Structure 1
Amino acid sequence: MVDVIPAVSRLTNRVFRILGCNPGIMTLQGTNTYLLGTGKNRILIDAGDKDVPEYQTNLSKVLKSEQANIEHIIVTHWHHDHIGGVEDLYGSIAGKPKVWKHMRSEEDDPDELPTNVPINWLSDGQEFKVEGATVKVHHTPGHTTDHVVLTLIEEDTLFSGDCILGEGTAVFEDLYTYMKSLDKIRDLYPKVIYPGHGNIVEKPIDKIKYYIEHRNKREEQILKTLKSNKDLQLNAMELVKLIYTDTPEHLWTAAAYNVNHHLTKLTKEKKVHCTSVDGELKWQHLDKLESNL
């Protein structure tokens, strides 16, 4: 049973979690945002979705009770449920803090940034310091090209954005870089992970190992399924229906998204063959093709 996340939680003497109040299939109970520090000036990690008055009210109450303001807003990545709320906070509840985000890759579409809000670009290894909190930036592409995680130096904890979730597994844009980022996070050895969605991860190394093993297992399942159906050319959704038998149907689209990325990786590694059939990409195990040579 999944523990219910309260609207506002004081996790430690220097960390508040304020739930984004935007529940959904992909956001779980909502986007977690975190207010860090012990003094007047604080750091906010992520800003939730746009136009969510309940979230704005809850954040405002915390700031008033703490007699604090927001000096920096650090956005883990460009997705709307993490950056959308910036426009609502900037110039009102949060005053006019510096807003920070890592730049997306040149291959990406242009950033859909909040209007009328100056954006400052993060760099890997950059540090932010307010009273009671020192935060270090770690660029961890994969979920998105601009994704970062953040470590709170004083507590040796990590804010994982959407790279690692409190429940279930994450989607990603590029599997190769995502796996590299998981290795990078594992090597930080955090004591606790505060995820962008879901509850606190109390055993981070076990969770990271599970994520790595899960992706490797999915890859093995894809190869095995293609090999056992080597006379067929299968698309990603057809593979999902054969592999994700214990997954609810409403999550199949997200699963197909991940399978596509596995297939792209396997194609690059020349373990499977990709063909366009009537404009649709389909894959086949190379055993079948080699037997025809």
Structure 2
Amino acid sequence: MTSIPFVREFDFEYGRCDTLSPLIRRVIAPNPGPFTFTGTGVYIIGHGSVAVIDPGPVDPAHIAAIDTALEGETVSHVFVTHHHLDHSPLAHPLAEKHGARVYGFGPPQIAPAGGEVRLEAGDDVGFQPDVQIEDEEIFPGAGWTLQALHTPGHTSNHVCYALIEENTLFSGDHVMGWSTSVISPPDGHMGDYLFQLARMRDRDFTRLWPTHGPAVESPSPFIQAYIDHRLAREDQILACLADGHETIRDMVAVMYADVDKRLHPAAAHSALAHVIHLIELGKVASDTALDQIDLNATFRLAETV
């Protein structure tokens, strides 16, 4: 497999507000786990009249930490990258406290399959932004400017936010320094994900701030490694099919043999996303209709002419 230069070490304390740059501060929520790493990083943009990105979970200690960090300031915008329970639940309570509105791409297009076995954080099924943003829409603030980039893949409604003044991207779960992102059909789509990775790479940002974990300091080569890793995973799937492994679970057992088995259910969904992408490319076939494919389907290499 292609190696990704993951970054996992960084200095933080729960409840502490850290200044990361002239315009960026961060408070990390105390919700660590296999899919949240050290917890949700909540970003505060600007000073005085500020924006908040991914407020995180509704947790008393976390709410107190956010309130302390924002003391004497007003939130003008609350932005959400997507609808998972580690990102969006505190959005509306925080916005209401400050008389602000919540901005996001809207609810997911399709309910993801797999339920809680798929993601520890799960889906914030009631999430609905006050304002549905458009791709590349610009949001000016008090000394800061954010541009929304609709980046479907991890979820259909995933959005990253570019801070124009610092050529920095808040990448949500689209790209993370500590791990790859789960792509879970039918709402998640691998073809969309790969396309958006290339789009993000080509913007040549100076730095990425994911919602979980430390910054990515050299985004373009890091994202290319992400892409190479995904393409190598598809080569692995083709090899598994050539060796007679017909199901997603059989392929995951081979491909992720050295990975914590708690992560295998999530890996199965990403593998399924890869297989669907390979079917769309004409490299894999199944007797199950494309819109009916799930973890129980069987697959084979497509016949070549």
User: What is the TM-score with the length of structure 2 in the denominator?
Assistant: 0.84
CA deviations over 1:138-170 (Å, ceiling 9, x no partner): 111111111111111111111001100121100
Unaligned runs of 5+ in 2: 1-7, 113-123
Match among 84, 87, 94 for residue 89 of structure 2: 84
Task: Specify the alignment match of 2:117 in structure 1.
Answer: none
Separation of aligned partners in 2, 1:130 and 1:87: 19
Match among 250, 274, 284 for residue 300 of structure 2: 284
Separation of aligned partners in 2, 1:133 and 1:156: 11
Task: Specify the alignment match of 1:216 in structure 2.
Answer: 231
Name the aligned partner's letter for residue 86 of structure 1. Answer: A
Matches for 1:107-122 after TM superposition, within 5 Å: 107=110, 112-114=125-127, 119-122=130-133
Contact 2:10-2:214 at 8 Å conserved across structures: yes
Identity percentage of aligned residues: 30
For the pair 1:12 / 2:21, whether they are aligned, the reply is yes
CA deviations over 1:224-282 (Å, ceiling 9, x no partner): 121122xx5x21111011111221111111111100011111122232222469x9311
Matches for 1:30-179 after TM superposition, within 5 Å: 30-38=39-47, 40-50=48-58, 52-64=59-71, 67-92=72-97, 95-104=98-107, 106-107=109-110, 112-114=125-127, 119-172=130-183, 173-179=188-194
Name the aligned partner's letter for residue 12 of structure 2. Answer: I
1:107, distance to aligned residue in structure 2 (A): 5.0
Separation of aligned partners in 2, 1:4 and 1:227: 45
Where has structure 1 moved over 6 Å in runs of 4 or more?
none
Separation of aligned partners in 2, 1:14 and 1:129: 14
1:105, distance to aligned residue in structure 2 (A): 6.1
Q: Which structure carries more relative contact order (alpha carbon 8 Å, separation 6+)?
A: 2
1:112, distance to aligned residue in structure 2 (A): 3.1
For the pair 1:204 / 2:204, whether they are aligned, the reply is no
Is the deviation greater in 129-138 or in 212-221? 129-138
Separation of aligned partners in 2, 1:270 and 1:70: 49
- The alignment partner of 1:154 has SS state of helix
User: What is the TM-score with the length of structure 1 in the denominator?
Assistant: 0.87
Over the aligned positions, Cα root-mean-square deviation in angstroms equals 2.4
Separation of aligned partners in 2, 1:106 and 1:255: 22
1:20, distance to aligned residue in structure 2 (A): 2.1
More strand by share: 1
1:23, distance to aligned residue in structure 2 (A): 1.2
Choose 1 or 2 for highest CA Rg.
Answer: 1
Separation of aligned partners in 2, 1:217 and 1:147: 24
- The alignment partner of 2:157 has SS state of coil
- The alignment partner of 1:142 has SS state of coil
Unaligned runs of 5+ in 1: none
Name the aligned partner's letter for residue 203 of structure 1. Answer: S
Query: For this pair of structures, how many residues does the alignment match?
Result: 277
- The alignment partner of 1:90 has SS state of helix
Contact 1:5-1:199 at 8 Å conserved across structures: no
1:131, distance to aligned residue in structure 2 (A): 2.1
CA deviations over 1:5-49 (Å, ceiling 9, x no partner): 3332110121001112211111111111100012x2100011101
